[in-house]
Structure 1
Amino acid sequence: MMKHYLTFQIFLLAFSLQAQDTITQTIRGKVIDTDGKYPLTGVTVLLAGEAEEGMTGTTTDLEGEFRLENVALGRHNLKFSFLGYKEVVLSNLMLTSSKELVLEVAMEELAISLADVEVRATRSGEAQNEMAMVSARAFTVEETDRYAGSRGDPARMASNFAGVQGADDSRNDIVIRGNAPGSVLWQLEGINIPNPNHFGASGTSGGPVNIINNKILANSDFYTGAFPAEFGNTVSGVFDLKFRKGNNEKHEQSFQLGFMGAELFLEGPVSEAKGSSFLVGYRYSSLQLFSALGIDVGTTAVPRYQDLAFKFNFPLKNNGNLSVFAVGGKSNIDILVSEESTEDRNLYGEKDRDQYFGSRMGVLGISYEKVLKNQTYMKATLAGSQERVQADHYYIVGRVKPDGFIDVQDLPAILGYNFTTNKYSQVLSFFKKIDNKNTLNYGFQNDIFGFNLTDSARQVNILPQNDPNAPLSFQSTPWVNRWNEDGTIAVLAQPYLQWKHKPSESLALVLGLHHQYFSLTDSWSPVEPRLGLNLKLDEIQSLNLGMGFHSQIQPAYTYFYKFNDPIRPDMGFQAFNRDMDFTRSKHLVLGYERALGNQVRMKWETYYQHLTRVPVENRPSSFSLLNSGASFNRIFPETGLVNEGTGENYGLELTLEKYYSKGYLFLITGSLFEARYQGSDKVWRDTEFNGNYALNFLGTREIQTRNGLIGIGTNITTAGGRRYGPVDVERTQEQQEIIYEDAGRNSLQFDPYFRMDLRVNYRINRKNLSHEIALDLINILNTRNILNLTWAPDELENPDPEKSIVPNYQLGFLPIFYYKVDF
């Protein structure tokens, strides 16, 4: 082992010393006013980094643009200073030989003169949205790559933050402060978008693989509660994503081949003279290839997916800009249990049927922005999107043979559905900078939905027989049509207004109002007040306060579900959920932040959230929509839903973060929390997501070589197990799927979740070319974490109920690798 290690080190050393010439690169960009969005002229830009000695700098020109050429490769800090503005420090910027570093930097004007205040710098990690006072964090594209176990996925990266759980290896759902993951809002370029994940099920916001590739993202914001008034239709959290602009001076390409897919990215100028640019990225799943080579991909049913994203940017005269953007993906998986042995491992699907599942999602938009007179900035966006989920199930009639495979006699269809939602969005927003103390932001977002939902199902029952060798006989129930909506139109309108006031440099106050109307149920949310406050106690510590009322409509498909209501059997099959109202939330957050030196910060936040008007069944039961949105399954309540449930979440969160310096960084987060709810039976219970605690440690060490970099990182996560309850054995055997006893729902808890990941990467820089090889060792200790319980009878007929209820485990040890070349 030691011999191989030394050989590897010698190889790296030799490879690094091949190029003796110093390779440099360019850093350039534009500096604008945070509120007015107009360019700032004369900003001083100073550069200092671990790859060089001393400092060098420049100033911005009349267009607010700056350029630093012949900069040594490696990590750098950029400091932006301008008379009358808060200093901005961008830390930990990685400069490689193959790509220019192009930045857009916003600076905030000081509330009082420089003579009265010591300037405090805005640093990396602070939210870009100036209206966000609490529970908000910016994240960079590089973070999604650098964090071990993140797999280049923004959602998995966010699970490292305080207050966020992601203890599910099969999906990237995130649980924010105990809230259901389906309530997370995804926003792209200011537009609310459908679930941006491959294999996304109805009513969820997560999936196994994110459609939005991190390589096309610009720096973005993530919110965990009490967010500004511009965000609505969520009671949980917000991903506010933005696409970066392509390089408008130089053509650059990137190709990557790895476990998650083959990727190609192209960017460059459309017209160098006009400063227009394009950025295009495409990915195709490579899991089939690796499975064919005998590499364990974690499941016998191999997912197939592909996605595409682009942004074209066109600067216009008189401070205007036009951009066209799009993202889309499609995915399929065939879970053929009839062709598997009992030893085959499959994380997805049920054990008594063959399943064919497919999903797709797409967004196409056009955005126009312009700096108007009187320090006013306007942005208008139009977009269309579609989300489709479809599936077909076939029941397996047959017996298990001695070799573990099934002797299939028949495959009768038992389920077929196609859920399609089309949406057309219009967003108009204005930022009015009244003076250096006051900023006004107002606008609206309208979404026009078109629903096309079809679903039919039936049951197949194996008939008893005396001869164990005779062919099986079965009986099918009549088909039941559960959804049949074609072309139903609905409008969700969301106007908002918010005002930021800075009476001094030590105090900032944001007041806002949000309102919502949903035409499908003819419902108005109450006017939702929002409040954010930041008080700087001194130059190293501050207090933050956030309060807000929030509302959210229900998963679209739940409004149209048809069933035979036992309370009103004379009505037959009816859609009784069309009158569901918004779920409402009141959120209070108090935070304390302190700098521990120049590169370390500590942050505490405590919160309380009260949820009302949560949909529950119209008969006494433990059912609540607060437990939904974390699986591939839809919900099927046995009665109509009414807005009479409640819930509450409260907890304490800690963040200790060291920004990158001296070759390493770390992030430690911890959460203690409670998440409870009441169903229509008025009994307080834990939600399914109430793990009570979560602890995460993330660290990265980087070693700079002459023209390259070696990185080693780890991620250690532990969290309380998911909740579940006693199994109703009789109904489970009857329905052939796990059904829990109603009275004992969530009274039990799985063992704590634990996972340790390790990441190793090596980057090699050459003239206008860079290579990177990376290996993520997911669950390196091969810890067996329980995902859920499943119904898995040893035989399809006459199963032993006790032995048929077995735990379904999450991913074991899984190596994920890629090779990337930028040129």
Structure 2
Amino acid sequence: MCRLLTIILFLEAAICFGQNHENVIIGGRVTNKKNQAIAGANVFAVGSYDGATTDRLGKFSFSTVKTDTINLQVTAFGYSPITVPLRSFPQNDIRITLTASENNIEEVVVKAGEFRLGNQQNAALTALDIVTTAGSMGNIIAALETLPGAQVAGENGRLMVRGGDPHETQTYINGIRVGQPYTVSGNNLPVRGRFSPMLFQGTNFSTGAYSAEFGNALSSILNLKTAKEPDEAKTDLSISAIGIGAGHTSRLNEKSSLAFNANYISLAPFAKIIKQNMDWTNPYQQWSGEAIYRQRSEKQALNIYASFAGERLGFRDDHIDYGQNVETNIRSSNYYTNANYTKYLANNWKWDSGFGLGYFERDLHFSTFEIPTAATDLHIKNKFQKNVNSSLRYFFGIDYFYQNYKERFSSPEYVTPRYGFANHLAAGYGEVSYHIFDRLHADAGLRYTVHTQTRDYLEPRAALTFIADKKHSASLSYGLFHQQPTEDIQKFDPELPWQSAQHTILQYSYADVGKQLRVELFHKSYDRLVRFERGDPTFSRNYATDGYGKVNGLDVFWRDSRSIQNLQYWLSYSWTNARKLEKDYEREVQPPYVAEHYASLVAKYWIGAWRSQVGITNTFISGRPYHDLNQPGYVQSYTRPINTLSANWSYLISQQKIIHIAVSNLLGNEPIFGYQYAQRRNNTGTFDRQALTPTTKRFVFIGFFWTISNNKKDNQLDNL
């Protein structure tokens, strides 16, 4: 398959190199209605990398491939975006006037602990930034790893925020919670996020002290907002070394559209070519499909999303306690539906309602054991929002959550009865935003949650932002948060009290044309953390909620897309000092999943002569602590630091045909994430151990993407 793919790619390249593409110059000036220049506006040809940023006089100029029609999109902070169709060339003196956005007041304020990503005002990164980040492989979770405050555990691929474990972050789509946001995994195999970032026009990633609209997350929420309806019909085809995909989008009429796609992924070819640290019996396979129906009018909008994913994998693992390879086989099915309805009412009222329903089942066979699992998640939401004037707005709403989790453990010797839990949760919330003065903005919110099996929880939230001028601001945020114990604990003891955390965050922000700096100091204190006896959670253990902890830290983010032409880069650094008494810890320690120092450099450079974008990502992670059973003391050792360099290359062989190549861990380093120790001593009186390492040193992706549409500028750059 890979040889055939290589032949196809080189044939396409040869054909397109032989084509004669005529370039034209596009230039002009962007102003507001008062004819004042707008500096820093983004001007680009839709469906290409071609574009420019306006200078201090509002002027721009760039070259692009000539087609019958070029759609010029113009966006600027504080203004409504517009698209200008160009049909005659050359166009060297285009005059573009932008209109100030009427609903941009809440977007201007930069709150501590909040990152906006995607097609939003004041966004830290665009969706295209996310998927073209080297090393992310189109996985939004891996891309978020390059932001301060976020860490991704290499041994499981899950997102961790500011000293919190992976279960402390919740994922939402359009404000509706997703019960199962990750793919399935086996022993120490990393997962991926289930959703492509390019399905969404924006992403709100909170690193703490988030809004009262959300709850049941001790550390963070990730809220994905779906994209608007497409302008015209198109078909997308893709073929890569790991799978194939096809999708079609069409407008049903002026107000509605329908999009659907199907994909098949298999790591079998990759596992045969690239050396693996895993004895695969059935390399990972996934077959999936999704559909999105959108209907919009001036006063209302409806969005319905449905998806299905089936997964299968099997491998033999050298288990430390068995002294031999143990076979594991997993099959799973995941169904998810999300519907949202928005209605714009009289007197500046807005009504948002929706629901999300997910069903997940998994059959896990480990050695002679069989563990079937089934989970159902339901979230129903109603929210009302009122914009009173330019200084005051508020919203309030109610949530209902239902969770049902069932599991059984069986072997040739015995079969346990089904165990699990069924939860009913109801929550009411409200929040007020008010400009006290022109430069002082306040947010105050309250959330009240009732849980059928434990107790009720009241959570105040507040933020105060001082805007010194257009470039400088400072913000202070506080919040109290609760979260029920993880599914791995609840299924054995569903009546445990909820865990709690308090966040305090102080932020300084600087933003100029093409440049951004954020510095945050944070403090997080934990209470009622779950504790149990040494070992993994089982139904025979006793559980308590007398754990606690504190996390202090510093996050720094710097982005620059203006100093060097065609180059954009960002730097992030996090210092996290965490001390927790939780799980089976003997005393308060830095958790083994937390690295104290975490830094990333992401750079992307556009090479116009090659019609290519190249990128690199370099990540440094300090050593993580672990408990060495063969040494005196407790959690007294550290893994060696990890430095990972990844690279990618996107090449437009024609406007609608793209080659994308990506390589993770380019230098082939061998990171160690930790160690697993045997439960019993060997004949020499010591504990055997095995290192937790990636299944392969590198991951290599090669893909060919082809878009078919009437607009010859359309392509799949956004999906890479």
Q: Give 1:754's match in structure 2, choosing from 633, 643, 646.
A: 643
- Counterpart-to-counterpart distance in 2, 1:165 and 1:350: 33
Choose the corresponding residue for 1:662, options 558, 565, 577: 565
Residues 1:138 and 2:117 are matched in the alignment: yes
1:809 Cα offset (Å): 2.3
Cα displacement (A) at 1:263: 2.1
The answer for the alignment partner of 1:282 in structure 2 is 262
Task: Provide the residue aligned with 2:47 in structure 1.
Answer: none
CA positional deviation for 1:150: 0.5
Q: Secondary structure of 1:655's partner?
A: strand
- Given residue 569 of structure 2, which amino acid in structure 1 is its aligned partner? F
Q: Point out where structure 1 has 5 or more consecutive residues left out of the alignment.
A: 1-7, 26-43, 58-68, 81-85, 92-104, 112-126, 395-412, 459-477, 562-576, 624-633, 729-740
Quote the offset at 1:321 in angstroms. Answer: 1.9
Unaligned ranges ≥5, structure 2: 1-8, 27-36, 45-49, 59-66, 84-98, 119-125, 709-720
Deviation, structure 1 residue 696: 0.8
Match of 1:152, SS state, is coil
In the alignment, the residues of structure 2 paired with residue 52 and residue 368 of structure 1 have an alpha-carbon distance, to the nearest angstrom, of 36
CA RMSD of superposed structures (Å) = 3.9
Query: 1:790 offset after TM fit, Å?
Result: 4.1
Deviations 1:15-71 (A, max 9, x none): 45723345899xxxxxxxxxxxxxxxxxx99874564798999xxxxxxxxxxx977
TM-score (norm. length: structure 1): 0.71
Aligned to 1:216: 199
Residue in 1 that maps onto 2:244: 262
Q: What CA deviation, in whole Å up to 9, does each residue of 1:80-120 have, x standing for no partner?
A: 7xxxxx446899xxxxxxxxxxxxx9935587xxxxxxxxx
- Once residues 350 and 509 of structure 1 are traced to their aligned partners in structure 2, the CA distance between those partners, rounded to angstroms, is 60
**Which residue of structure 2 aligns with residue 584 of structure 1?**
500
1:590-609 matches, within 5 Å, as 590-595=506-511, 597-609=512-524
Q: CA deviation at 1:798?
A: 8.3
Q: Structure 1 residue 640: deviation in Å?
A: 1.6
- Note closer, same or farther for the CA distance 1:298–1:663 as it changes in structure 2 (3 Å cut): farther
What's the counterpart of residue 808 of structure 1? Answer: 692
The 3 A distance-change label for structure 1 pair 456 and 108 is farther
Question: What is the deviation of 1:727?
Answer: 2.7
The residue identity in structure 1 corresponding to 2:602 is L
3-state SS, counterpart of residue 21 of structure 2: coil
> Shift of the alpha carbon at 1:181?
0.9
Change (3 A) 1:351 1:586: farther
* d(CA) in 2 for partners of 1:801, 1:446: 54
| 1:524 paired residue among 446, 456, 459 | 456
* Corresponding position of 1:492: 425
For 2:428 and 2:257, locate their aligned partners in 1 and report how far apart those are by CA, in whole Å.
32
2: CA distance, partners of 1:133 / 1:685:
27
Match of 2:575 among 672, 685, 697: 672
C-alpha distance in structure 1 between counterparts of 2:415 and 2:633, whole Å: 30
**Are 1:509 and 2:442 matched, yes or no?**
yes
The total of aligned residue pairs comes to: 648
Q: Deviations over 1:128-184 (max 9, x none)?
A: 69795543232432122211001101100000000111251x542122111001111
Residues 154, 90 of structure 1: alpha-carbon distance in 2 compared, 3 angstrom cutoff: farther
Code of the residue aligned with 1:699 in structure 2: it is A
Does residue 786 of the first structure (1) align with residue 667 of the second (2)? no
Write the distance in 1 (CA, Å) between the matches of 2:515 and 2:104: 25
CA shift, 1:198, in A, is 1.5
Q: Within 2, Cα distance between the matches of 1:238 and 1:282? A: 28
- Offset of residue 655 of structure 1: 0.8
Question: CA 1:201 to 1:297, structure 2 compared with 1: closer, same or farther past 3 Å?
Answer: closer
Once residues 634 and 370 of structure 2 are traced to their aligned partners in structure 1, the CA distance between those partners, rounded to angstroms, is 29
**1:105-124 counterparts in 2 under 5 A?**
107=101, 109=103
What SS does structure 1 have at the residue aligned with 2:353? strand
Q: Distance in 1 between matches of 2:601 and 2:285?
A: 33
Q: Does 1:614 align with 2:529?
A: yes
CA contact (8 A) 1:792 1:804 kept: yes
User: Within 5 A, what are the aligned runs for 1:142-221?
Assistant: 142-168=128-154, 170-200=155-185, 207-221=190-204
Q: CA deviation at 1:257?
A: 2.0
* 1:533 aligned to which of 453, 464, 481: 464
Task: Identify if the C-alpha distance between structure 1 residues 128 and 281 changes in structure 2 by more than 3 Å, giving closer, same or farther.
Answer: farther
1:122 alignment counterpart: none
Q: CA deviation at 1:195?
A: 2.5
CA distance in 2, matches of 1:128, 1:436: 12
Give the alignment of 1:257-656 within 5 angstroms.
257-271=239-253, 274-291=254-271, 294-296=273-275, 299-301=278-280, 302-316=283-297, 319-336=299-316, 351-394=324-367, 413=368, 415-457=369-411, 478-479=413-414, 481=416, 484-485=418-419, 489-519=422-452, 521-525=453-457, 527-561=458-492, 577-595=493-511, 597-617=512-532, 635-636=537-538, 639-656=541-558
**TM-score computed with the length of structure 2 as normaliser:** 0.81
Matches of 1:378 and 1:189 in 2, distance apart? 13
Give me the whole-angstrom Cα distance separating, in 1, the residues matched to 2:411 and 2:53. 70
Deviates more, 1:494-503 or 1:300-309: 300-309
Shift of 1:718: 0.8
Amino acid in the other structure paired with 1:666: Y
CA distance in 1, matches of 2:145, 2:549: 23
**In structure 1, distance between residues paired with 2:258 and 2:190:** 29
Distance 1:350 1:142, change over 3 A: farther
Query: What fraction of aligned residue pairs are identical, expressed as a percent?
Result: 15
Letter in 2 for 1:443: G
